């Protein structure tokens, strides 16, 4: 290049000297003169240029941007520019408040008020320094006396800064009230209920959409009067879910805890993760006692070892306050569950914590938890959204199966199939060799890449010809012999054993007792005839089984006919905690029978199963059954409609039939217009709802249909037992049932006829 440049320079010099008067083709920039700039323009042909026209080729000019703040400096430096702070070559991208601090290191982008709060309101707390009363007097001739009266007051006050929250355990001021706080696990919680009360409503008013605020026992609309009540001071405010989700309920930097954040707190107190994830059930005893305050409960079983200090503030449900003040406390989460929202319940009668999806018009207490950024970088995220390359949630990626070094490159812990921590089992070549190249088959036979050269006679790579046999069981045989005898087998039948297996030994077909080709008359040498296919089955439906094949842990969901039912342990028994939904057909309410199954959905007067299932009554209360229908498939295999004894066992656990209804009724959907009832405490977890009744009275013409004081009106829940009565006369043919009543805490033991339409529950065998 040096010699080329010298040659071109000599050529230009020669041309400039030799050609004075002739037109010059070397004037590349058409300025009428042949200069060094024409040479530079010519050099563009060789891939160089001078974009800033400073006489230095761009290939050796480190800065060609005229707007660079170092453009006039040493050209060997690369271009740099003035940053947001006016520094040439600085790295500050912004200084929004102009305070000379780059935003990414500025603790406050804006102004710090006199209280030390970034962009804060300043001193807002009022402190009264003195009150001076002003008096005057007037002479009243009628009384012949002077009357002294107060006519004004002079109040001297000043504004001070609210106390600043520094660390968990300090007070946090919000809306003029100082809340106490507590650290539970790694979370900072309010240790008392929220008191935010912009308005107040009587308990008869409510909504699932608009915010509503309540003070237990107060039925007015005056906020000041409500705040003066003892229940406000002790228990705070009850909120429906829209109210608890308003921005102002918590201080800035705090929020209503999500369902996941509740679970994190519960696990930190000793609840297992599997327990914490259970829904609509009591979980994790004694964590409930750890959360309850050690005073104020009807049964003071709380230890408050967590510092949560949960008080029994009761709740507001459909049209009124529940009668559980002093025995139950309810709290919202910020998380939705379809059209419902997750909540928590503590009770005097349980050391566990109840997790429930609840209707949003309920009035529950609320707590706040401080904002945080989780390990995934998500605000209040609960660490649910990030995993390292080894698949470990929020893992550092440094270990894979306890070995193999750093995994941060997302590859070093992958097996040969590309699976993190994999065992190479998920990818095989045509010979069945994990990650094999297909070149060997049983150590022989050459290349297998064509997918055929190592196939056995049955077409299986590396196979042993065992998967294809003729009717006699001979691998790839012609079917002409059976055990060396018996003549031709080509008809596919002459060599079949009693089970239909060629050359079989009759071992593959058994009767209901498990006897090969047996007649079902014996079961393990006992128990009589087994031809009904049921008498020798274990609880899992296995002939002569030991019940080990269908292990189930109560509290888990159980699937039946495409629906997952929640379950609850009550005493020694495992119950459905919701009504049965099995609906193979549906009838209007008029037809019925004592012997043929009939299925109903309260309020539905048609025959379309799809339409019936789309109704809100089906979603909330399930189906109604006559007794033959309830006994004919409402429960999954291994479950049964409860016996009369099963029902009695539950009511005895909760104080007997006269009072057990409160513990068995759900804490929503019940009418509260009665003198002593309405919603229950649901302490049992049974979650009994007022599902209605399909009535049929042969003595009263026209009475066939849905009983008018049930269902959506929230009055009664009627349930079948599987036990017939032994009554005679008028009550002959009846069965035992149970009724929950809106008007009292009783569980009524009644004797319904089999053609009635009742709700159904199931109990594990």
pLDDT in tens, 566-607: 999 999 899 999 999 999 999 998 888 899 999 999 989 999
Contact 650, 562 (CB under 8 A): no
Looking at per-residue confidence, does 398 or 542 come out higher?
Answer: 542
Q: CA-to-CA distance for 456 and 454, rounded, in angstroms? A: 6
Residue 188: pLDDT band by 50, 70, 90 thresholds? very high
Q: CA-to-CA distance for 471 and 26, rounded, in angstroms? A: 98
- pLDDT of 681: 92
| For residues 456-481, average pLDDT | 66
Q: CA-to-CA distance for 215 and 221, rounded, in angstroms? A: 10
- pLDDT of 410: 44
Q: CA-to-CA distance for 282 and 240, rounded, in angstroms? A: 23
| For residues 17-32, average pLDDT | 54
174 pLDDT higher than 70: yes
Contact 37, 49 (CB under 8 A): no
- CB under 8 Å to 575, separation ≥6 — which residues? 567, 568, 569, 642, 650, 686, 761, 762, 763, 764
- pLDDT of 4: 44
pLDDT in tens, 277-316: 988 778 999 999 999 999 999 888 899 999 999 999 999 9
Residue 14: pLDDT band by 50, 70, 90 thresholds? very low
Q: Please give the full DSSP string across 380-427, using - where no structure is assigned.
A: T-TT-S-B-TTS-BT--S--BTTBSS--TTSSTTB-TTS-BT--STT-
Residue 376: pLDDT band by 50, 70, 90 thresholds? low
| For residues 522-542, average pLDDT | 55
pLDDT in tens, 474-508: 666 666 556 555 455 555 555 666 666 666 766 66
- pLDDT of 391: 56
Residue 710: pLDDT band by 50, 70, 90 thresholds? very low
| For residues 392-412, average pLDDT | 51
Looking at per-residue confidence, does 320 or 98 come out higher?
Answer: 98
Query: What residue spans define the domains of the chain?
Result: 2-46, 198-370, 523-552, 558-764
Count of beta carbons in the 10 Å neighbourhood of residue 362: 26
- Rounded to the nearest 5°, which phi and psi values hold at 588? -65, 165
- pLDDT of 243: 97
Residue 404: pLDDT band by 50, 70, 90 thresholds? very low
- pLDDT of 285: 92
Least confident of 191-195, 704-708, 754-758: 704-708
| For residues 365-372, average pLDDT | 94
276 pLDDT higher than 90: yes
Taking the CA atoms of residue 372, residue 377, residue 378 and residue 381 in that order, the dihedral angle to the nearest 10 degrees is -70
| For residues 28-32, average pLDDT | 63
Looking at per-residue confidence, does 485 or 544 come out higher?
Answer: 544
- Helix, strand, coil % in the chain, rounded to nearest 5: 15, 25, 65
- pLDDT of 527: 45
Q: CA-to-CA distance for 430 and 425, rounded, in angstroms? A: 14
Count of beta carbons in the 10 Å neighbourhood of residue 682: 28
CA distances 6 to 2, 56, 566, Å, are 6, 16, 92
Per-residue tokens: 459? 């077409």
pLDDT in tens, 75-97: 677 888 889 888 888 889 899 98
523 pLDDT higher than 90: no
Instruction: Kindly state the percentage of the chain with pLDDT values over 70.
Output: 64
| For residues 622-632, average pLDDT | 95
Looking at per-residue confidence, does 612 or 11 come out higher?
Answer: 612
662 pLDDT higher than 70: yes
- Which region, left, alpha or beta, applies to residue 450 given φ > 0 means left and ψ of -120 to 50 means alpha? alpha
9 pLDDT higher than 50: no
- pLDDT of 239: 98
What pTM value is reported for the model? Answer: 0.41
Per-residue tokens: 242? 């829209």
Looking at per-residue confidence, does 209 or 502 come out higher?
Answer: 209
Q: Please give the full DSSP string across 520-546, using - where no structure is assigned.
A: S--BTTBSS--TTSSTTB-TTS-BT--
Q: Please give the full DSSP string across 691-746, using - where no structure is assigned.
A: -B-EE--TTSTT--EE-TTSGGG--EEEEEEEEE----GGGTT-EEEEEEETTSS-
Q: Considering only CA atoms, which of 472, 452, 454 is closest in space to residue 464?
A: 454
Per-residue tokens: 711? 């269902």
Q: Give the position of tokens 């045509």.
A: 430
328 pLDDT higher than 70: yes
- pLDDT of 486: 46
CA distances 50 to 53, 74, 315, Å, are 5, 16, 81
686 pLDDT higher than 90: yes
| Angle formed by the axes of helices 36-43 and 2-18, nearest 10° | 130
Best mean pLDDT range from 304-308, 323-327, 518-522: 304-308
Residue 716: pLDDT band by 50, 70, 90 thresholds? confident
619 pLDDT higher than 80: yes
205 pLDDT higher than 50: yes
- Mean pLDDT (the chain) is 78
pLDDT in tens, 40-55: 555 555 557 777 777 7
430 pLDDT higher than 60: no
Looking at per-residue confidence, does 103 or 542 come out higher?
Answer: 103
Q: CA-to-CA distance for 59 and 207, rounded, in angstroms? A: 74
Q: Which helix (H) or strand (E) holds 612?
A: helix 609-613
- pLDDT of 17: 42
Q: Considering only CA atoms, which of 412, 494, 428 is closest in space to residue 461?
A: 428
Residue 657: pLDDT band by 50, 70, 90 thresholds? confident
Residue 554: pLDDT band by 50, 70, 90 thresholds? very high
195 pLDDT higher than 80: yes
Q: Please give the full DSSP string across 162-200, using - where no structure is assigned.
A: PPPP-SBTB-EEETTEEE-EEEETTEEEESS-----S--
Looking at per-residue confidence, does 420 or 714 come out higher?
Answer: 714
CA distances 461 to 219, 313, 416, 433, Å, are 80, 70, 21, 10
| For residues 408-418, average pLDDT | 56
Best mean pLDDT range from 211-220, 277-286, 733-742: 211-220
Instruction: Kindly state the percentage of the chain with pLDDT values over 90.
Output: 37
609 pLDDT higher than 60: yes
């Amino acid at each position: 290049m040096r010699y080329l440049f010298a040659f071109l320079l000599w050529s230009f010099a020669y041309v400039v000297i030799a050609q004075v008067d002739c037109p010059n083709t070397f004037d590349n920039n058409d300025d009428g003169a042949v200069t060094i700039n024409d040479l530079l323009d010519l050099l563009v042909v060789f891939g160089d240029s001078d974009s800033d026209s400073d006489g230095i080729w761009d290939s050796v000019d480190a800065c060609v941007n005229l707007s660079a703040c170092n453009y006039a400096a040493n050209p060997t430096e690369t271009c740099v520019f003035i940053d947001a702070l006016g520094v040439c070559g600085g790295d500050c991208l912004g200084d929004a408040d102009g305070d000379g601090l780059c935003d990414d290191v500025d603790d406050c982008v804006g102004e710090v008020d006199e209280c030390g709060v970034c962009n804060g309101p300043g001193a807002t707390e009022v402190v009264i320094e003195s009150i001076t009363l002003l008096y005057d007097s007037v002479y009243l001739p009628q009384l012949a006396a002077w009357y002294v009266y107060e006519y004004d007051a002079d109040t001297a006050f000043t504004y001070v800064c609210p106390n600043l929250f520094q660390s968990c355990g300090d007070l946090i001021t919000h809306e003029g009230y100082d809340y106490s706080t507590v650290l539970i696990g790694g979370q900072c919680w309010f240790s008392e209920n929220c008191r935010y009360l912009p308005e107040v409503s009587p308990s008869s008013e409510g909504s699932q959409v608009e915010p509503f605020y309540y003070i237990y026992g107060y039925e007015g609309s005056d906020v000041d009067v409500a705040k003066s009540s003892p229940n406000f001071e002790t228990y705070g405010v009850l909120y429906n879910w829209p109210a608890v989700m308003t921005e102002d309920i918590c201080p800035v930097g705090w929020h209503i805890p999500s369902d996941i954040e509740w679970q994190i707190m519960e696990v930190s107190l000793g609840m297992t993760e599997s327990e914490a994830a259970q829904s609509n059930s009591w979980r994790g005893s004694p964590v409930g006692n750890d959360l309850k305050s050690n005073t104020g409960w009807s049964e003071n079983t709380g230890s408050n070892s967590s510092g949560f200090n949960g008080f029994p503030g009761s709740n507001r449900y459909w049209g009124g306050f529940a009668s559980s003040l002093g025995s139950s406390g309810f709290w919202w989460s910020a998380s939705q569950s379809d059209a419902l929202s997750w909540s928590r319940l503590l009770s005097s009668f349980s050391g566990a914590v109840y997790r429930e999806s609840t209707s949003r018009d309920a009035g529950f207490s609320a707590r706040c938890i401080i904002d945080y950024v989780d390990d995934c970088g998500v605000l209040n995220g609960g660490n649910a959204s990030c995993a390292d390359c080894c698949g470990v949630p929020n893992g550092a990626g440094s270990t894979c199966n306890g070995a193999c070094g750093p995994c941060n490159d997302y590859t070093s812990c992958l097996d040969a199939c590309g699976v993190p921590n994999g065992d190479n089992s998920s990818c095989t070549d045509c010979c069945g060799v994990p990650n094999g190249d297909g070149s060997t088959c049983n150590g022989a036979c050459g290349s297998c890449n064509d997918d055929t050269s190592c196939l056995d006679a049955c077409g299986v790579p590396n196979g042993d010809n065992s998967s294809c046999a003729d009717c006699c069981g001979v691998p790839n045989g012609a079917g002409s012999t059976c055990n060396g005898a018996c003549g031709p087998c080509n008809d596919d039948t002459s060599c079949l054993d009693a089970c239909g297996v060629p050359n079989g030994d009759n071992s593959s077909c058994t009767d209901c007792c498990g006897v090969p080709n047996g007649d079902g008359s014996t079961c393990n040498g006992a128990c009589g005839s087994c031809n009904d296919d049921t008498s020798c089955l274990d609880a899992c439906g296995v002939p002569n089984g030991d019940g080990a094949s269908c292990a189930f842990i109560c509290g888990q969901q159980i699937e039946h006919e495409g629906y997952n039912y929640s379950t609850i342990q009550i005493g020694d028994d495992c119950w459905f905690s919701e009504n049965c939904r099995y609906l193979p057909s549906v009838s209007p309410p008029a037809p019925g029978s004592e012997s043929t199954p009939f299925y109903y959905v309260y309020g539905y007067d048609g025959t379309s199963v799809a339409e019936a299932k789309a109704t809100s009554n089906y979603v909330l209360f399930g189906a109604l059954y006559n007794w033959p229908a309830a006994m004919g498939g409402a429960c999954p295999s291994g479950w049964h409609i409860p016996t009369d004894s099963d029902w009695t066992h539950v009511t005895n656990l909760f104080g007997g039939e006269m009072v057990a209804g409160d513990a068995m009724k759900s804490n929503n959907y019940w009418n509260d217009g009665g003198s002593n009832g309405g919603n229950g405490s649901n302490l049992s977890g049974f979650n009994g709802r007022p599902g209605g009744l399909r009535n049929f009275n042969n003595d009263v013409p026209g009475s066939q249909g849905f009983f008018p004081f049930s269902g959506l009106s929230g009055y009664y829940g009627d349930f079948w037992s599987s036990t017939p009565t032994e009554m005679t006369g008028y009550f002959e043919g009846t069965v035992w049932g149970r009724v929950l009543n809106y008007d009292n805490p009783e569980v009524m033991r009644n004797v319904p006829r089999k053609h009635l339409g009742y709700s159904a529950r199931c109990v594990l065998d």
